[in-house]
Amino acid sequence: MHLDIYVYTSPLHTKFRGLTQRDGLLIHGPAGWGETSPFWDYDPQYSAAWLNAGIESATQPYPQPQRTDIPVNVTVPATTPQRARDIVLAGTCTTAKVKVGEPGQNLADDLSRVAAVREALGTNGKIRVDVNGAWDVTQARDALLALNEAAGGLEYAEQPVADVEDLARLRKISPVPIAADESIRRASDPMRVKQLNAADLIVVKNQPLGGVRAALEIAKQIELPVVVSSALESSIGIRAGLAFAAALPQLPYACGLATVQLLTADTVTDSLVPKNGTIAVRDVEPDHIPAPDPQLVQAWDMRLESMWQYCTIDANYTLHTDEYVQ
């Protein structure tokens, strides 16, 4: 089986996870297109799961969907209150996920951002916060008390602490429900979340787990409500996330799949972005992938070779360096 692979890149409207640009690989195979876009601080062995996910999307049909539209949240980076307000108003969603605990910022910054989001959403909107494991248990308890008040009630807090044992301790004293993210996708044993009763729900990204089918299996085993989330992909990667969300037996929460709005450019003209708070489940294809910077291609060429050592799928590939036009 032969795969054609292209490098894509897009600047971000607002700095996110310390990034000003997103880049990755788009993979074309017999079933269509997939995306592989592990962040640059991830090692080859961990990143190979992301490669498996992209190849799966390009070579296998998605599972049978249970729904045709996926409710989503708008994602608010760790930005200024005014910028946060603008992002929410432009997002067409009634649920917002707000990044907090950003390095270089403090709780006062988080509180003002969450208050601005509440103002933009109105009283009926839902707010969830994402901490990326930045706090210890005591910091998390105190910060969540304050943020819960500033938000007029939080829907949940995503990965307030890094360690799954600490997550279990925090859950016993937290004023808001706890969601596990990194404790699922970056853990050697994601089942520890279930064993320790460490979360009320789980946030699951299909790329880090090796694809839609692997993510569905983990969700089935953990037996907690699932929020399907993006890894800041282009519309090609979001398509896989929508397939995952569409195939779940229940979907009680809005999903974090509206992140194409953070990109200044997408390889798909008709991007997978929300309309009235939902994204329709539909296929997309890139119609224009500009030729990337040669240094970026070289970096991805070396990284792809190192990831391929751990890939579990039998295939060969061509990494293209020229512009792709449909």
pLDDT digits (tens, 9 = 90+) for 44-54: 999 999 999 99
Any idea which of 24-38, 105-119, 177-191, 288-302 has the lowest mean pLDDT? 177-191
Q: Does domain 2-61+287-325 have CATH number 2.40.30.170?
A: no
Domain residues of the chain, as ranges? Answer: 2-61+287-325, 69-280
Is 90 exceeded by the pLDDT of residue 236?
yes
Binding residues for Mg(2+): 130, 158, 181
Quick one: pLDDT at residue 314? 82
Q: How confident is the model at residue 208 (pLDDT cuts 50, 70, 90)?
A: very high
Q: Does domain 69-280 have CATH number 3.20.20.120?
A: yes
Quick one: pLDDT at residue 184? 87
Quick one: pLDDT at residue 187? 74
Is 80 exceeded by the pLDDT of residue 119?
yes
Is 80 exceeded by the pLDDT of residue 188?
no
Quick one: pLDDT at residue 251? 97
Any idea which of 11-20, 31-40, 214-223 has the lowest mean pLDDT? 11-20
In this prediction, what percent of the chain has a pLDDT beyond 90?
A: 88
Q: How confident is the model at residue 185 (pLDDT cuts 50, 70, 90)?
A: confident
Rounded mean pLDDT of 221-237? Answer: 96
> What does pTM read for this prediction?
0.94
SS (H, E, C) the chain: CEEEEEEEEEEEEEEECCEEEEEEEEEEECCEEEEECCCCCCCHHHHHHHHHHHHHHHHCCCCCCCCCEEEECEEECCCCHHHHHHHHHHHCCCEEEEECCCCCCCHHHHHHHHHHHHHHHCCCCEEEEECCCEECHHHHHHHHHHHHHHHCCCCCEECCECCHHHHHHHHHHCCCCEEECHHHHCCCCCCHHHHCCCCCEEEECHHHHCCHHHHHHHHHHHCCCEEEECCCCCHHHHHHHHHHHHHCCCCCCCEECCHHHHECCCCCCCCCCCECCEEECCCCCCCEECCCCHHHHHHHHHHHHHHHCCCCCCCEEEEECCCEEC
Show which residues are catalytic.
99, 205
